[in-house]
Structure 1
């Protein structure tokens, strides 16, 4: 007969009383506050014993068999997810980034140390939370633009479908015919919305799923053998009247060559230009590029990181917790000219805006939830059902995602 899975709170209380793990200890005589070491696995001084309590819970809960190679980050995420599902327990202080003694302080907010049914009694909420807690950045092979060494691009299973848009049809990008939009969809890649402006006038906008990244190319389509879904910038003669402006825009597009390449490498978005067209980039707002200047020029010799998902997730957590500044995720590119600093961006010949739509929709979910844990987000799940996910649960899931990322 199989041994029943223990309940985490009585198990944890016993571990605290017996001082079973180094650094795991009660902090008051009433036994309502306790600390747990919380060292990031990528720190140079991280040792397996720093994950002792996480590995022990994985073993007693049946998620780990002694003798197997332990997946320590997963053990840590599952442990935290189990605690986060207990309504009578909260994180009183998060000191996990303390350089000398990274740890978290938990506090029981109800009398006794029992297992409250809490979220465990709601299977729909549990299903969504488990899918969020399983978010990771698992690598898969990616060839990358020519001239780059073979690298890996990892998938982010957190993926929110755009509410409405025109999608590009291709062999590598198929539109969804599902009329009901579920909030969390595990996918192997991101959707990107690309918007193109000629002298401030919008001339192109499409959204597509890009498993191997994307390339911004001229009307000739560029080299079809290169990796990345091509977004073909339109012929300026179809939208511009001024002949001189048309000529200049045409020259910019012709110099794109193989295109401007954008792809994912683990938690980063990277860019590289494959032609002669000098390109400058910056993170900006959804509707306006920044006026302070570019973050730099997109290199030709090698790819460079231009966006870190970790920064976005940290900013999103701060926003949910009350910070008035929402994280930025919109990439702006100025093609063929210097960045429009101290002048209207609408005067530039070619400006391109790229939005990872999963991040756009995730921010919208956070806005719906507000900055209070009392607020909830109504989510549509499969079968037409709905459930409420409060801000604390969303933050806990985002923190799990952070644990899978690098610094």
Structure 2
């Protein structure tokens, strides 16, 4: 087929279903309004790229994103591209209750939306915060707190996951998080589900030069935030597609007040921080990827060491905060069985960190990162505790409650 006659995804997929070429790709109902699409994870022992990635590869070939014999095979990216296309398209709607992801030959089910001129485009991203109901509703429970006016409910909504961010972000974190999302194992004792699909992607980022704050911003993009010297090279768009990550540049040493002789050292360090690091919030955690030549060290909830340096390797994705672990710790904290869970992250550029011999106020460049969904959750449950205490005191003063000896 000539380029000028390319099919849209809906037409192309229907043609593939009808062709019978791909095992597992079939109609789900007699009316042909829903279809099954094979969805085996690459980590499974019986995964065979030739068979299990065939449909994803075919879409990549059709769109000109993969050339057989010339490009390196990348099944993860192939799958990501088709998933992103499905989720972006207003022609399809996933039917999660029909999905079968824990069987030998897992599949997802999508419904083909009827053609309508008034159809609204898919919102990007539409993600959620899912809370399991408790048997007993108390002032600490999520159902109670949903009625409180101090929490931004729009940040954590009861909706099915629908992510349609661009391939750059999908490629960076879905290969890490996909298995966690598709194969959850919630405990019936937990009132917080380990599936946390966040629509609050905000991070508070504070840049510090020798302990003094020189920039403080709140990021909002679901693609995350670059912290760098200069600007992101445009070449990435040709490889991965456009990326709408925010860019936070280091202020020039000349524009801030620095001790004598520090500006020269600062400029030398900044020259090695072009391309910087990329931070983003994903459904199961906060992640980072280092692109710059200059070394970067960090501390935070997932750091291996608390008293010696933790280095970020270049071009490698690191998880800085694990959301299921955070929720578990939060639950214990709410139940009075643990301390407040940690969620703050610190980055140190060009110098080893943590360093017990040198306080962080003497480090040339540092960044403090706070994912705001964690702040919201803590405020939410702290509010619940205060409401519970107020309710107890009020009831006791009115004679409606007595303490046992």
TM-score with structure 1 setting the length:
0.49
Per the normalisation by structure 2, the TM-score is 0.49
Larger helix share, 1 or 2? 2
